[in-house]
Structure 1
């Protein structure tokens, strides 16, 4: 990645005590309304991870929040501070409760707390999310951002977590996107209003690291006015899965009304997206393609990226037509 100057511009059983504990965080998925993505955030690295892990334990078919209960040691291990104890969590939850969320829409502002309660008894942490956040976290079909917790849990910079979340949101269903953001808005999103550009460049821009995620930042452009940086331009690219990089082209067989896709390739998709039925989703895609495409586009288009993005959206709890209708 280089920085350059630019000229111009799953279903589950009912919660039953500790049955709600998962053995690992590999399948946890964060899914939140974009209002929460673009709200001002002044949390520490650990506080961000605490919140995102809690959000990851929300299931896509939940209609209300249920208390999250799990061993304190397990929770500490997931967020990467396994050497600490429950007193450490006590301090961090207090800090989170002192930093409310504020959403602003036109002439309306609303302030929320992330949690209504956090407690620890006999080594078991119990966490209750604020039910006022229901509309921003549950049953989301449009204007949301979703990503696996394991994409951010290994990060050691709170700015990289924030930027990954924002990059994921602005990229949407695209494979690449140039995100232009004013320097003042950028500072606000990262709660660094008092930082000068030289500091931002050293502590954030030069240290952007999306390793372990599905994104890459190929280039950062600087737009200047009178030698002063006024806008940043991020060239965001979604990494292709190994399957998509290996597959040359998938065409549509109009005669049989199906994709010309081998059983072997379907099996590879099934290995990548274990939680969904690939054969069922392929059939849905074929029906969608017939409804939405004219004959020329249907038969001549390379459907490889379409299939990959559909499956990814399905795996992340999204609804494909909300993005591609």
Structure 2
């Protein structure tokens, strides 16, 4: 059964903004769960239709007829990935073939996705497919994925508009924060706590009375005994502390390799933490540093990655308790900024 398969993908892919329906997400994740992260190349992956229908808890033959529509829609969805010197626009799949009479769907990934799904040794998120298959909301699935990535560090904060983009909320959807809180955040919190291996609380980050961001506090779900028995996440085979320690060592070396000036491991760690683990951002800010006469490269890097795309920010105001940036946004411009498009 595919529900016990492990979904593994690079952190950089997990932190991309995309909009998929619940069924589209689960079909995509089902195919990803067939990929072995240590594989050197993609294969043709076969989804058993009956297994997928069972995963969704759907009944009735009419649902079988919907799958070609679902995969066709999924084939039209493009994901954009900002890389160090380029913007990658790629469809998830290069082909999907429905085997009539065999009850099988054969899927091939776009080759450009190899770095994000294959030969993954660090900088990835991994969880059992059964952690998300029972979530009824497409937003719950995306929130779970984001929080699962940062579960080792227990907290993560997102600017409100960036968060909306990352979980696939359209610009005209839930324009008021109160609606977003009630219909998305509270609903997802209840679902994720009841059905998955993590639990979370959240804190509203405000400037005055306006909510400008959300800080999440992530915990292992100790109340869900069934999850403890069936979960096949990374921390079931190795402790998260060990994984975190090994990953951070790799991150520190990568930061030091980006910055050509000599810096020690402590400074590299500070820069990495300030960037929230975004190596592409570190590389971008370092390229900017070459244009200036700088007394301290470490101070410049920390300031640069904290303010993120500072050149594009119209106004910045620090909140007193969390040092969070308030920004003035145009929603379409924001998506371009997240992708590094000028």
Is the TM value for this pair above 0.5? yes
TM-score of the superposed pair, with normalisation by structure 2: 0.62
Partner of 1:17: none
Which residue does 1:128 correspond to in 2? 108
Query: Deviation above 4 Å: which 4+ runs of structure 1?
Result: 240-243, 271-276, 318-321
Shift in CA distance, 237/313, structure 1 to aligned 2, threshold 3 Å? closer
1:41 CA drift (Å): 1.6
Structure 2 unaligned blocks of 5 or more: 250-342
- Aligned: 1:147 with 2:127: yes
Q: Give the whole-Å Cα distance in 2 for the aligned partners of 1:36 and 1:68.
A: 20
What do the CA deviations read for 1:261-287 (whole angstroms, capped 9, x no partner)? xxxxxxxx9x989999xxxxxxxxxxx
Q: 2:215: which partner in 1?
A: 233
Match of 2:73 in 1: 95
- What is the CA deviation profile of residues 39-79 of structure 1, one whole-angstrom value per residue up to 9, with x for unaligned ones? 11210000000000111111244222211224323322223
Q: Partner of 2:155: helix, strand, or coil? A: strand
Q: Distance in 2 between matches of 1:79 and 1:235?
A: 29
Residues 180, 231 of structure 1: 8 Å contact kept? yes
SS at 1:311 equivalent: coil
Please give the secondary structure, in 1, of the residue aligned with 2:195.
coil
Is 1:212 the counterpart of 2:195? The answer is yes
C-alpha distance 68-313 of structure 1, shift in aligned 2 (>3 A): farther
TM-score by length of 1: 0.65
CA contact (8 A) 1:31 1:147 kept: yes
Contact kept in structure 1, 2:123 and 2:247, CA below 8 Å: no
Whether the 8 Å contact between 1:53 and 1:79 is mirrored in structure 2 is no
- Could you say which structure has the higher helix fraction? 2
> Does 1:67 pair with 2:49?
no
Distance between the aligned counterparts of 1:227 and 1:185, measured in 2? 19
Q: Is the 8 A contact 1:101 1:111 kept in 2?
A: yes
Match of 2:238 among 306, 311, 318: 311
Q: Which residue of 2 aligns with 1:223?
A: 205
Alignment equivalent of 2:92, drawn from 114, 132, 148: 114
Which of 183, 187, 206 does residue 164 from structure 2 map onto? 187
Indicate conservation of the 8 Å contact 1:215/1:236, yes or no. yes
CA distance in 2, matches of 1:321, 1:226: 38
My pick for the range that moved more, 109-118 or 83-92, is 83-92
**Structure 1 counterpart SS, 2:4:** coil
Displacement of 1:143 after TM fit? 1.3
Stretches of structure 1 that go unaligned for 5 or more consecutive residues are 1-23, 244-268, 277-307
Q: How far apart, in 1, do the equivalents of 2:127 and 2:181 lie? A: 26
Q: Which has the higher contact order (CA 8 A, sep 6+)?
A: 1
Where does residue 36 of structure 1 map in the other structure?
A: 13
SS of equivalent residue, structure 1 residue 234: strand
Task: Provide the alpha-carbon RMSD of the alignment.
Answer: 3.0
Relative to structure 1, the CA distance from residue 178 to residue 72 in structure 2 (aligned partners, 3 Å threshold; closer, same or farther) is closer
2:306 maps to none
- 1:107 Cα deviation after fit: 5.7
